[in-house]
Amino acid sequence: MKKIQTGLAALLLSACAVAQQNPTAMKYAKFISVEDAKKHLNIIASDAFEGRETAKPGGMMAAEYIAAEFKKLGLQGPVNGSYFQDVPLIETSFTVKSLTINGTSYAYKKDFYASSTAVVAGDNSFDTKEIIFLGHKPGGDVAAELGKTDITGKAIFLVNDGETPSNTTNRIAYLQTKKPLMIISTSAAVADNISKGRVARVGGPSLAITTKAPLAPVFSITADVANQLLVNSGETFETFKASGDDKGMQANQVIKADVAALITTTTNPAGRAVEVLGYMPGTDLKDQVLVFSAHYDHLGLTKSGADKVYNGADDDGSGTTGILEIARAFAQAKKEGHGPRRSILFLGNVGEEKGLLGSEYYTDHPIFPLKNTITDLNIDMIGRVGSEYVGKPDSANYVYAIGSGMLSVELRGISEAINKKYTNLILDYTYDNTTDKNRYYYRSDHYNFAKHGVPIIFYFNGVHADYHKATDEVSKINFPLLVKRAQLVFYTGWELANRAKKPQVDVF
């Protein structure tokens, strides 16, 4: 109870401290404009940048554009005079040499495919005599379904019928954090893909230097292979699925199965990838640093269809544009003698779509000590109306605010007071929890700051029908809404950069 009372007190005090509008801040917020935002986004999300894929030429073209804009604004290049921090990446590929289940061998891309695997170079063997089946219902909370079942170093069997591809991905990502030996997954959609020769892309870039443990291999199998997996139980795959309760839920259980796999992994250096840093030194509190971040990378070129480019106008061209606009506002203020008390780092992240790679590298190798980094304000998609707001009266006046109170109740108070004072957006906290099945708190670059104890706010408009599709085009961006959201981030940053005290970490 004491902790809650302390948190509420901090919330109230922080709100009172920013009660009056600041005309100087309001003057420079107007430099965040629809006209200028359109100019940037039409370049960043153009076909010329080839979808801005990490470690590809288009990605570097975007990085060079951002760096050039930082230079025009008078920001400093803090990496020995450069705006680039090189992120060492390796390209991983692998060959599945064998998969045997209860004495029967299966063929890669005919009976199964592997969608991810360990990044340890050389031969990797995976063997088990039993596998844990995890009960599941579509849309369920994977953490609750796992419960107290210990899967560390063990093989897991998942049935993902009825799940969307993104929820399946999130479910597997969560289970990977528990360090299983291997994951075997199936669904009707998987079986159909395998039968038609449609298999997921394997391998891809990863950090050459990382503290992450290797991921467990994930094998996606057909129903016939699932039958063999269950042969010792006396069940077929269909009878096994039918034995659940009226909601399709089954208890977690151990299945006897002799499973062996051999995978050979090879690694090579990937193309160049960089974090883009623009630095504005502060005045009397210059040793403390406020970070504005957004990832500039996207998915690159498509493999089929008439439209060959994943332009990523919203994801995250809109956030990158927002950062450039916020930098413009602060640069104009500094030019006119109203520079920030604290230093500001404008950070363009690379490799977010590949697993938050650039921000992981930066926070593991920070140019400015993380102990001096007071907050990260991260923008990832602020140019559209998310699916849950389509058709609502307030569809053009909201933003999802994630993580503001995860480490600092005081920071949430500041965020809410600033919004009430200047922008009056609806701060939607729907996804502001660690049990959100979408796991948004863990899925953008702010998380790498948060895991090091740096308070964060993640600004997000939610997903929509064009998310991660070639149809995420500039023509669909709501520029007045993008500008209003960016102005909220600017005002919040102005307060954080100039207030007497930094927000305290008060949630443990």
Q: What digits encode the pLDDT tens for the residues 385-408?
A: 999 999 999 999 999 999 999 999
- Sheet hosting strand 398-402, strand order edge to edge: 84-86, 274-280, 342-349, 285-295, 373-379, 456-460, 398-402, 426-428
CA atoms of 501 and 508, how far apart (whole Å): 20
User: Count H helices, E strands: the chain?
Assistant: 14, 17
Sequence-ordered list of residues with C-beta below 8 angstroms from that of 373, at least 6 positions apart, any chain = 288, 289, 290, 291, 345, 366, 449, 454
Tell me if residue 257 falls in helix, strand or coil. strand
Residue 245 has what pLDDT? 65
For residue range 292-336, list pLDDT tens digits in order.
999 999 999 998 889 999 999 999 999 999 999 999 999 999 999
Residue 198 has what pLDDT? 64
Specify the domain boundaries for CATH 3.40.630.10 within the chain: 13-87+273-498
Cis-peptide, bond into residue 192, ω within 30° of zero = no
Q: What Å distances lie between residue 91 and 86, 266, 415, 418, CA to CA? A: 16, 8, 40, 44
Tell me if residue 285 falls in helix, strand or coil. strand
167 backbone dihedrals φ, ψ, rounded to 5°: -70, -35
CA within 13 Å, CB half, 484: 19
Per the CB < 8 A criterion, the answer to whether 380 and 448 are in contact is: no
For residue range 112-153, list pLDDT tens digits in order.
988 766 667 788 899 999 999 987 777 777 888 888 899 999
Residue 7 has what pLDDT? 56
Specify the domain boundaries for CATH 3.50.30.30 within the chain: 90-269
Per the CB < 8 A criterion, the answer to whether 498 and 18 are in contact is: no
Tell me if residue 232 falls in helix, strand or coil. helix
Residue 238 tokens read as 């269909």
Element (H, E) at 288: strand 285-295
Instruction: For the domain covering 13-87+273-498, report its CATH number.
Output: 3.40.630.10
Per the CB < 8 A criterion, the answer to whether 331 and 280 are in contact is: yes
CA within 13 Å, CB half, 260: 8
Total residue count of the chain as it appears in this document: 508
84 backbone dihedrals φ, ψ, rounded to 5°: -110, 135
Alpha-carbon 228 to chain mean position: 37
Per the CB < 8 A criterion, the answer to whether 33 and 483 are in contact is: yes
CA atoms of 296 and 352, how far apart (whole Å): 8
Q: Choose among 161, 167, 119: nearest CA to 142.
A: 167
Kindly report the pTM of this predicted structure.
0.84
Owner of token pair 């009825």: 162
Task: Please work out, in degrees rounded to the nearest 5, the angle formed at the alpha carbon of residue 321 by the alpha carbons of 475 and 370.
Answer: 145
Residue type, 97: K
Tell me if residue 501 falls in helix, strand or coil. coil
Owner of token pair 């005045």: 283
CA atoms of 452 and 442, how far apart (whole Å): 13
- Written as one string, the DSSP assignment of 12-67 is HHHHHHT-S--HHHHHHHTTS-HHHHHHHHHHHTSGGGGGGBTTSHHHHHHHHHHH
Sequence-ordered list of residues with C-beta below 8 angstroms from that of 234, at least 6 positions apart, any chain = none
CB atoms within 10 A of CB 217: 23
- Give the residue ranges of the chain where pLDDT is below 70: 1-19, 116-119, 196-203, 209-212, 244-249
Element (H, E) at 67: helix 57-72
Return the CATH fold of 90-269: Glucose Oxidase; domain 1 (3.50.30)
Tell me if residue 366 falls in helix, strand or coil. coil
Per the CB < 8 A criterion, the answer to whether 327 and 32 are in contact is: no
Q: Choose among 284, 9, 232: nearest CA to 104.
A: 232
DSSP bridge partners of 184: 157, 219
Residue 210 has what pLDDT? 64
Residue 160 has what pLDDT? 83
> Residue 311: left (phi > 0), alpha (psi -120 to 50), or beta?
alpha
